[in-house]
A and B are shown apart, each in its own frame.
Chain A
Amino acid sequence: MALPLAKQFALMVPELFLLGMICAILVIDVFLKNSQRNVTYWLSQFSLLITGILVLTMNPGERITGFDGAFVSDPFSVLLKLFVVGITIAVFVYSRPYMRDRELFRGEYFVLGLAGVLGMMVLISAHSLLTIYLGLELMSLALYAMVAFQRDSGRASEAAMKYFVLGALASGLLLYGMSILYGLTGSLDITRIAINLAHSPHPEVAVGLAVVFIVSGVAFKLGAVPFHMWIPDVYEGAPTSVTLYMGSVTKIAAFAMVIRLLAEALPSAHIHWGGMLELLIVLSLAVGNVIAIAQTSIKRMLAYSTISHVGFVFMGVFAGTDAGYAAATYYVLVYALMSAGAFGMIALLSRKGFEAENIEDFKGLNQRSPWLAFMMLLIMFSMAGIPPTVGFYAKLVVLQAVVQVDQPWLALYAVIMSVIGAFYYLRVVKFMYFDKVEEVVPVRLKLDAGILMSFNGLALLALGMFPSVLMVYCTAAAGGL
């Protein structure tokens, strides 16, 4: 039964508003002088804020699909969109001083960033293979351009090129998988695909084939081994403000795609993708944690850490239960928060002519700014999973979900790998607190960025002490799938 058209459009009011604002900002920005670029900044922040408010106010509170099943609004999408919008606001705050110092403070960054957010929101709400692909490509294209944003930097161009080529390959894999799925079921709508797969007989090999290509495609977007190779190069090559954006919010959107495709469209093929995910998890945890140890660049280190965190997110999905999906959702949201904080810290500590991109640059941070050092400590502890930070709880719920489906060995393996991983997080802490620098350069900090960073760091602590505040919503979101 189809909804009236007005109600269908009501579902995507936030997206429509954001689209309108992107066009408006694009036009307005053309007429601004370089010194007036703050107008673009504030307009962008305003758009995001209103979008966020719209997401909240238009929240149907239940699962409603529109446009013939192509677009869905459910607790899951609302939760994820709120985090995407909120963290993007933080990303813009952290990036502003960084880009000012490097003469990158241009309107395009914000327009592309907002376009990426639009792509993510579409991806999160997508409920047909077509919308998924649309959202994914909108997001990816914005990202390709953003990575190459620093046009005169060879590193950035190289990274963008690699990202684009590999991304195209991955998109091809994903599309191929989708086409097999369409061929098998004769539908693009996720609900119908799921019903069809569950109730009609299909050749096992064909389903398996589709699943392999789809898993490969989503694994590339999240960055699971062996589809991870682009991550370190791109994270390192891109300007820190872009890495910050890519490293945090896009993971949430990519995770939404995983849930829509695997959990919603292919629940009956869990026997296929479960095993594949297990392999990806095992590899991701090992490669991410072990290679991170050998890194000297903090951006590369965090890139490898991303890979290992993706392993954890996949573990929640791998469980294939509501508890597992809730745990994975929780994990990815928390990860986005931690990652925004960590990359944001790199952006804040960099200044004109100096990139704080090596781990050694964090030496003696405690002397320079005890408060920032403490925030970084919280972020690192949280990433390592040390209580009472939220990272511990996130790992705990994921492991719980895995143990509940009788996979204690996988949980044990993940714990051992986390212990190895703790080494390089704690090394940063050791550099900050126990190593001294000869000349103490005080950190200049903008008020807004400082407040937001404090909020970001303390949120990790607060959520760690009251984890259920967020867990309730994650459980509701997973329950509403």
Chain B
Amino acid sequence: METVYLIIALAPLVGAIIAGLFGKKIGKTGAHTVTILGVGLSFGLSVWVFVRLVFQGMPTYDGNVYTWMMAGGYSFHIGFLIDHLSALMMLIVTFVSLMVHIYTIGYMAHDEELWPSDSQVRSTAYQRFFSYIALFTFSMLMLVMSNNLLQLFFGWEAVGLVSYLLIGFYMNKESAIYANLKAFIVNRVGDFGFLLGIAALFAYTGSLNYEEIFSQTGKLATATVMLIPGQEWSLPSVVAILLFIGAMGKSAQVPLHVWLPDSMEGPTPISALIHAATMVTAGIFMVTRMSPIYELSTTALSLMLIIGSIGAFFMGLIGVVQNDIKRVIAFSTLSQLGYMTAALGASAYAAGMFHLMTHAFFKALLFLAAGSVIMAMHHEQDIRKMGGLRKYMPITYVTALIGSLALIGFPGTSGFFSKDSIIEAVELSHIPGAHFAAALLILGVFVTALYTFRLFFLVFHGRERMDAHTRAHLHEPPWVVTLPLTLLALATIGAGGVMYPLLFGDFFRSIYVAPDHNVLAELHHHFHGALAFLIDGFLAPPFWLSMAGVLVAWDVTLYRSKLGIHVHSRLGWVRTILQNGYGFDAFNDYVFARGARGLGRLLWKAGDALLIDGLIVNGTARVIGWTADRLRWIQTGYVYHYSFAMIIGLLVLLSWYVLR
């Protein structure tokens, strides 16, 4: 089986290398063929592994395949841990990735038009894009299949790198460069915490291997650490919070979320793959993986609950005032990631993972549908200039509707099952902050429905606001685009069916939940079958809230479109706050970016230029040069001066060493 796992991970890498290094030779068709073959192979084998593992009872695999290095008496291994959790992630990653690969053929077909004609990278941009997304698939697989924290970190950084490269894919655009730099720097903050967390774990357990770390949880539970003299902190809390800081960066949690909206500068397929479905959920996956550590720290769980729910509600709110089709969905992703994090905080890891899966499908679907719209609109992304697209693009319309319904959690869709179970789990939780979180999450449902259907109505319904030229060219995209849409729509509808085994069965055997935290077991108590859950869904407040959201959206966009303007004039300041994203960006720019630059300038001018260069380096040189200029005059050229020097030297030697 080892070979199979290696092939799953390496096949996309091979595709990426061929498409990346030989892109010019093999051409566009060659590039997408080879990467799709690689990712397709990974997907096929992932399905096979999943089936064998889940349905045929194959035991969990945990083994090292390669020793990377030895240092300080510890061997760093590359190894795989293939259990139900990683098998599910592999399935999600390879499936969405494959869909995005196919979709990209259509989306990027005319990409050259977006580059300046004298750009040197223009001719191979297509191949480069495929190389990057295949490389991303490899990195993400390495991340989820890892059996140790080091390899997880490798994948973690590698996906960050590819994300950086893809956000800045249009490297001639200044906004793209700004965005990818921002993503990179913000993620550094998170990674710093993450790395410290890994180091702390290694320091206390002497291992990076999950299995070996988890076998020592008993010892860890009571361990304390003194970071500030006189302050004893519980080690599991410190480690869990540090690791969660890493997750905050990668999974865009408040306040490290600021990079995600800007990441929409990248081409739409990667917004679907990386910035919605897979990479940003790496943090959720990591916390789930590390559940035995998190269960030791109520503090960390509480922190996750609060941060997650804040993100879920307030980030959704920003989505309401956005006019860029991709940014609306991006804020929606922030909000949904908040839901997942809140689930983790309530110890409902399985619910978080379930939502991760359904979200991967419906959010990828929404992004790809948005991409389809953008293509049809000739790269116009402002929803105020769209409208009435329903009759031009029926497939996109239907699939987008399915995605939107799943996003607002309409009963019966997969989003309903996953989101409702999160809300109910949080309601049942006794961890400090759970009530606050539950309230925000329920309110969030209204907001979700509002921004989702505001977007939906503005794009697909109502007056056609685009110009005549664009309208004349509106048409449904080719099959390579509609096929992934359809398949993802099917997955979006069907994924809800696995709720029972995922949440209440023993599917996630590797997740450990402390008995007094086990909200899902309690939820199981109240659970009387999917149908009852469904019917309950229609009667519960979340449903009515979401219906209210849809209604308001309909009201402001279609029925009384003037109302929006009215609200705008009355509540302008609210809108300003929301449009500025609560001032996070301004704060970061002002305090951190300007502060860091100011500090850097100070150190440069005072420390480097003045002290080191001026005083130490050039100062020394100047002193030596000056001395040399003076000393050379000792060499007068007079022979009696020379002999005098010799006699003086002799006298010094005599008096110093003989007559002392």
Contacts and interface: CB of A to CB of B under 8 A. Distances in A.
Nearest to B629: A294
Given A166-B646, A169-B646, A293-B624, A279 B652 contact: yes
Given A212-B657, A233-B635, A290 B628 contact: yes
Nearest to A204: B658
A401 B649 CA distance: 27
Interface in B164-186: none
Interface bin, chain A: 35 or more
Contacts of A213: 650
Given A293-B628, A294-B629, A295-B632, A276 B657 contact: yes
Interface residues of B, number: 26
A112 interface: no
A272 to B, nearest CB: 6
Contact of A229 (B632, B646, B656, B658): B646
Interface in A263-293: 272, 275-276, 279, 287, 290-293
Contact of A212 (B621, B632, B641, B654): B654
Contacts of A290: 624, 627-628, 631
A2 to B, nearest CB: 38
Contacts of B637: 233
A216 B653 contact: yes
B642 interface: yes
Given A162-B642, A229-B642, A294 B657 contact: no
Given A216-B653, A290-B627, A290-B631, A229 B641 contact: yes
Interface in A207-227: 208-209, 211-213, 215-216, 219-220, 225-227
Given A209-B658, A216-B653, A291 B631 contact: yes
A316 interface: no
Given A232-B635, A233-B635, A227 B646 contact: yes
A165 interface: yes
A420 interface: yes
B659 A169 contact: no
Interface in A32-60: none
Nearest to A162: B639
A205 B655 CA distance: 11
B564 to A, nearest CB: 67
Contact of B635 (A170, A211, A216, A229): A229
Nearest to A209: B658
Contact of B639 (A166, A275, A294): A166
Contacts of A225: 649
A279 B653 contact: yes
B67 interface: no
B642 A275 contact: no
Given A161-B639, A169-B643, A229-B635, A208 B649 contact: no
Contacts of B658: 205, 208-209, 211-212, 272
B648 interface: yes
B540 interface: no
A229 to B, nearest CB: 4
B653 A166 contact: no
Nearest to B635: A232
A173 interface: yes
B655 to A, nearest CB: 10
A287 B635 CA distance: 11
Given A229-B635, A287-B631, A291-B632, A166 B642 contact: yes
Contacts of A276: 653, 657
Given A166-B639, A209-B654, A293 B649 contact: no
Contacts of A209: 654, 658
B642 A173 contact: no
Interface in B611-652: 621, 624-625, 627-629, 631-632, 635, 637, 639, 641-643, 645-646, 648-650, 652
Contacts of A211: 657-658
Contacts of B643: 165-166, 169
Nearest to B650: A216
A230 interface: yes
Listed residue (A169, A287, A291) with the most chain B CB atoms within 10 angstroms of its CB? A291
A212 B646 CA distance: 12
A291 B632 CA distance: 6
Contacts of A233: 635, 637
A209 B654 CA distance: 7
B110 to A, nearest CB: 49
A232 B648 CA distance: 19
A216 B646 contact: yes
A315 to B, nearest CB: 17
Nearest to B654: A212
Nearest to B638: A162
Contacts of A165: 639, 643
A226 B646 contact: yes
A294 B649 contact: no
A95 B624 CA distance: 35
Listed residue (A227, A229, A290) with the most chain B CB atoms within 10 angstroms of its CB? A229
A160 B192 CA distance: 71
Interface string A1-24: 000000000000000000000000
Interface in B118-172: none
B255 to A, nearest CB: 48
Nearest to A224: B649
Contact of B649 (A227, A232, A295): A227
Listed residue (B621, B635, B659) with the most chain A CB atoms within 10 angstroms of its CB? B635
A212 B649 CA distance: 10
A230 to B, nearest CB: 6
A116 B615 CA distance: 50
A119 B494 CA distance: 103
Listed residue (B621, B639, B645) with the most chain A CB atoms within 10 angstroms of its CB? B639
A166 B638 CA distance: 11
Interface string B443-484: 000000000000000000000000000000000000000000
A226 B624 CA distance: 19
Listed residue (A161, A226, A227) with the most chain B CB atoms within 10 angstroms of its CB? A226
A428 B653 CA distance: 36
Contacts of A229: 635, 641-642, 645-646
Contacts of B659: 205
A170 B635 CA distance: 18
Contacts of B625: 293-294
A420 B617 CA distance: 11
B656 to A, nearest CB: 7
A226 B639 contact: no
Nearest to A210: B658
Nearest to A173: B650
A138 B625 CA distance: 40
A439 B625 CA distance: 31
B649 A226 contact: yes
26 contacts: A165-B639, A166-B639, A166-B643, A166-B646, A169-B646, A170-B646, A173-B646, A208-B658, A211-B657, A212-B653, A212-B654, A215-B653, A216-B646, A219-B649, A227-B645, A227-B646, A230-B642, A272-B657, A275-B657, A287-B631, A290-B631, A291-B628, A291-B635, A293-B625, A294-B632, A420-B624
Given A212-B657, A272-B657, 14 more contacts: A162-B642, A165-B643, A166-B643, A208-B657, A209-B654, A212-B658, A215-B653, A216-B649, A225-B649, A226-B649, A275-B656, A279-B653, A294-B625, A295-B632
Interface of A: 161-162, 165-166, 169-170, 173, 205, 208-209, 211-213, 215-216, 219-220, 225-227, 229-230, 232-233, 272, 275-276, 279, 287, 290-295, 420, 423
Interface of B: 621, 624-625, 627-629, 631-632, 635, 637, 639, 641-643, 645-646, 648-650, 652-654, 656-659
Top 10 closest pairs, chain A to chain B, by CB = A226-B649, A208-B658, A294-B628, A229-B642, A293-B628, A294-B632, A212-B653, A162-B639, A226-B645, A290-B628
